[in-house]
Amino acid sequence: MRILLVGAGGVGDAIVKIAANRNFFEKIVVTDYDLSRAEKSVAWVGANRDASVAAKFVADKVDASNPANVAELARKHQITHVMNAVEPKFVQSIFEGALEAGANYMDMAMSLSHTHPTDPFNTPAEKLGDWQYDRTKQYSDKGLLALIGTGAEPGISNIFARYAQDHLFQEVDEIKIMDGGNLVVRNDAGEEIFAPSFSIWTVIEECLNPPLLWEKDKGWFTTPPFSEPEVFEFPGGIGAVECVNVEHEEVNMLPRTLNAKRVAFKYGLGAEFINVLQTLHALGLDSVNPVSVRSKDGRVSVAPRDVVAAVLPDPASLADRMTGKTCAGTLVTGTGPDGMPRATYLYHVCDTEWTNANYGSQAVVWQTALVPVISLELLATGVWSGTGIKGPEEFDAKPFLDLLAGEYGQPWGLDDRDPNNPGKL
């Protein structure tokens, strides 16, 4: 397996560091629009692993917005798998570049959605990932696999859902992804600050777009942002967090292959975080449409969202300023093998203190990076295989979870809860 890693930001850098502990690949070509970032990740391997491992990593420059450039790099380095580790706005170009080069493809966030022009809070238009699912035949005709939505969420959340269906339930009523944490970021003065743990572009897309839900008798539908708030008690010492509906890929992915009556995604944002996002929206600072602004050289056009991203800390730089844990998990309710009502929360908790000490990464980006590395290993060893467009829930979950808890040393949890009050531990 020869991997083209597109993007050496926080997640891409963590992918390099995790993969440096494994031997399932022949080569990883670490690329970024800023070549120095790719070189920095490769240099870390050289400084922290022996020469035989370091020889497997090289750096190169990429323009992720240009499919031809992605294809050119894939051919240059004889790539078998293109791993997309940049913002979802580049999904289409990287996806097309991999296909053009005859390489398999993987990502952690899927192609962007577009809201319904007249009824956004009831009716979906183009959903997250629809653009990719519509191109299944293009990949299958070439005998290639595009493994999409394979990070923490979507990703390990999908794998937990598949495991629950196969091993814990005879009938599933609801699959509800529950994401929360107690992460805190502080400035040099020790004051808590607003600093999203991943790209503000992704934060705005997920949290301000109409949330997507799915019900067996209704299909896909949308609601207003931050709908259906509920308090959920997370494990690992995180505690109770209020969670709300958020647009997320799992709601488009899981109903395609798993048997459930309802699928939803909820995120523990907190009141302050929601207030900031609502203010950005009210001021138009979430817009991607350029506006003309004054500069010392005249007037320039800039997207308001790019301004927000420019003034916020880079998520990759937060490890030393962040404390706390994050939890990616899936709450499944229904009927257990004994015919009795059952509610089970399957989860993985990640601690920033540990990830920073061992990898120089904050918890959210490290947890996101862990899943594609394990998935690539399962593909390299032939445990997972296929063609076309697939999500991780379409493969046997047990080998993944066994490898996660075993050789990767990351235990995952399974809490059986009161079916009448599953939000409480």
pLDDT in tens, the chain (425 residues): 999 999 999 999 999 999 999 999 999 999 999 999 999 999 999 999 999 999 999 999 999 999 999 999 999 999 999 999 998 999 999 999 999 999 999 999 999 999 999 999 999 999 999 999 999 999 999 999 999 999 999 999 999 999 999 999 999 999 999 999 998 888 888 888 777 776 777 788 778 899 999 999 999 999 999 999 999 999 999 999 999 999 999 999 999 999 999 999 999 987 778 888 889 888 888 888 899 888 888 888 888 888 888 888 777 777 788 889 999 999 999 999 999 999 999 999 999 999 999 999 999 999 999 999 999 999 999 999 999 999 999 999 999 999 999 999 999 999 999 999 999 98
Half-sphere exposure of 371 (CA within 13 A, CB side): 34
Phi and psi angles of residue 412, each rounded to the nearest 5 degrees, phi first: -115, 155
Domains in the chain, start-ordered, CATH in brackets? 2-107 (3.40.50.720), 156-363+411-417 (3.30.360.10)
How is residue 305 written in tokens? 């969202």
CA 355/CA 377 separation, integer angstroms: 21
Half-sphere exposure of 420 (CA within 13 A, CB side): 0
Contact at 8 Å (CB) between 179 and 242? no
What was the pLDDT predicted at 124? 96
CA distances from 262 to 39, 210, 215, 387, 405 (A): 45, 17, 4, 28, 29
Complete DSSP assignment for 300-338: EEE-HHHHHHHHSPPGGG-TTTEESEEEEEEEEEEE-TT
What was the pLDDT predicted at 309? 82
